[in-house]
Amino acid sequence: MVELAPEKMTAVLNRLRRAQGQLGGVLKMIEDGRDCQDVVTQLAAVGKAIDRAGFAVITAGLKQCLLESGGQDTLDTAAMEKMFLSLA
């Protein structure tokens, strides 16, 4: 198991906080009876932000694994593939 360094996750945390704020905005839009197209557009933006955060976490984990293994082929390819596909 790879433990990600907190300093590497600052950008991810910021992105997730923005997505959290966007999601709150979507909830308010629905409560206010806003146009369906506007709501869907904002939901898509939230989804994309979350996906990008997920990819950033996976990328950081992969990079850390490569550095720790010294370039040796010790990565669990199936596990990495499963993580990437979970975001697809």
> pTM value?
0.71
Contact 88, 66 (CB under 8 A): no
Tally of CB atoms within 10 A around 70:
7
Answer whether residue 57 shows pLDDT above 90.
no
The predicted-structure confidence for 12-49, as pLDDT tens digits, reads as follows: 899 999 999 999 999 999 999 999 999 999 999 999 99
**What does the alpha-carbon distance between residue 77 and residue 82 come to, in Å, rounded to a whole number?**
9
Mean pLDDT of 41-69: 84
